[in-house]
């Protein structure tokens, strides 16, 4: 692994949802700032329904056309110290977005370039993770 996200890098100092601009901004303790477009955030939903589980594809894997309501973000709450849980206008709220996940998917140009330069992280996993 070349990227190590821990400590201040995944500790949010300020979380701000700007509804008119349709952006969620997170300022991290290491000084980095991430701005997520609401619809980009919806595409990042990590819940089992959107992402699938046990090898089954999720709803987002079917490349759906998201409606206005599905990318309209109503509310966000903190889940412990590790995640946020957004509530979408269509009622969907089962996604717990861990700060690590959010920071890893930071949409800023520098992080996009970093992800593009990295080979798929799955390839680096050791072959026997489970006993
Ligand atoms: Zn979801
Ligand atoms: Zn970034």
- Proximal ligand: closest to the CA of 45: 1
State the distance from the centre of ligand 1 to the C-alpha of 80, rounded, in angstroms: 19
Please report the pLDDT score of residue 68 as a whole number: 94
pLDDT digit string, tens, across residues 87-113: 999 999 999 999 999 999 999 999 999
Report the alpha-carbon distance of residue 73 to residue 86 in Å, rounded: 7
Which pairs count as long-range contacts for 68-75, CB under 8 Å and 24+ apart, including other chains? 70/42, 71/22, 71/38, 71/39, 71/42, 72/38, 73/17, 73/19, 73/22, 73/24, 73/38, 73/41, 73/42
State the distance from the centre of ligand 2 to the C-alpha of 113, rounded, in angstroms: 10
State the distance from the centre of ligand 1 to the C-alpha of 48, rounded, in angstroms: 7
Is the domain spanning 7-109 CATH 3.40.50.300? The answer is no
Q: Place 2 in a pLDDT band, splitting at 50, 70 and 90.
A: very low
- Proximal ligand: closest to the CA of 88: 1
Residue whose C-alpha is closest to residue 88's, from 73, 100, 98, 101? 73
The domains of the chain are located at 7-109
Could you tell me how many residues make up the chain? 131
């Amino acid at each position: 692994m070349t990227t190590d996200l821990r400590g201040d890098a995944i500790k949010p100092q300020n979380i701000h949802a700007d509804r008119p601009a349709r952006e969620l901004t997170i300022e991290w303790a290491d000084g980095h700032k991430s701005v997520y477009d609401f619809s980009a955030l919806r595409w990042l939903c990590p819940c089992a329904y959107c992402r699938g589980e046990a090898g089954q594809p999720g709803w987002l894997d079917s490349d759906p056309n998201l409606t206005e309501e599905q990318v309209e973000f109503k509310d966000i709450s903190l889940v412990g110290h590790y995640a946020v849980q957004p509530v979408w206008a269509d009622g969907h709220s089962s996604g717990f977005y861990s700060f690590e996940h959010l920071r890893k998917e930071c949409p800023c140009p520098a992080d996009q370039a970093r992800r593009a330069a990295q080979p798929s992280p799955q390839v680096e996993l050791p072959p026997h993770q489970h006993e």
